[in-house]
Amino acid sequence: MDKTTEKEEKKPIDWKKEIISWGIIIVIAFALALFITEFVIMKAEIISGSMMPGLKKDDHVIGNRLAYLFSDPERGDVIFFEYPLSYKSKYEIDPELTYCKDESLGDTEKKYHKDSEVYVKRVIGLPGEKVVIKDGLVYINDSTVPLDEPYLKNKPRGDYGPYYVPEDCYFCLGDNRNSSADSREWNNPIDPETNPDRFRFVHKDNIYAKAALKTPPDMHWVEHYRYENEPNK
C-alpha cells in the first residue's frame, strides 16, 4: 500500500459535514412524513361500537385522503368525516355560535371550541336520493326491495324517514345499526321545526378520507360493500 492511499484511509471525519448531512436527511424525512399525514393518509381511532363487527372500539384505522380527489363516495364506502353537529360545522352555518362557554375561564369569559370531531360510518344514501327505513330495512327511491346488508351486526329495528339527501351530501349509518348515532338521529337543534334536516347529512366537503386499513394486531382491509340490488337513481 502506498503512502497516498494510507493517508486517504486515515483522513479524519469532518463532523461538521456529517451533522449537516444528517440534519438535511432528518428535515427531509420529517417534511415527507408531515406531507403524507396531512395530504395522503389519515389515522382515526374507533371510540365506540357503532361500526361492529368490522371495526371495534379502540381499533385504529388508516384512511386514504386522496380517494375522492377525482371521484365521489359510493354506497357502501366506509368514510372518515367531520361530525355534522360539531362546533366547527355549526359555526360555519351559524356565526353566532362562534363562542361557547369555557368553564375553566369562568362564566364571564368565552372561547371558541375549534376541535373537530371525526366520525366513521358507512355511506348509505347518495345525493338526490330518498331514503326510508321500515322495520330496520333500508329502501332507496321507493324500491320495493330493501338493501342487502350482510355486514350488519344484528337485525336492525325501527322506522325512520323519509329522508331526502341534498346535493353533494350523504346519508350515513353505522354497521351496528341498533347502537349507532348516525343520520337517523342527527337533526337541527337550532331550528328543529322549520329545518329539521339541516345537520343530518354529511357534506362532501366535510369528508376527510376513505377508510382503508385496520392496523395490527388484527390487521385487515376495511370492507367497502357493493350491493347486488343497487337501486335505480
- Residues annotated as part of the active site: 50, 121
In angstroms and rounded to an integer, the radius of gyration of the C-alpha atoms of the chain is 25
What is the spatial distance between Cα 62 and Cα 82, in angstroms, rounded to a whole number?
Answer: 16
Is the CA virtual torsion 221, 177, 187, 126 positive or negative? positive
**What is the per-residue burial (b if ≥16 Cβ within 10 Å, else e) of 181-198?**
ebbbebbbeeeeeeeebb
Q: Which residues have C-beta within 8 Å of that of residue 205, sequence separation ≥ 6?
A: 168
What is the spatial distance between Cα 138 and Cα 150, in angstroms, rounded to a whole number?
Answer: 13
Q: Whose grid coordinates read 346488508?
A: 149
Q: Whose grid coordinates read 380517494?
A: 67
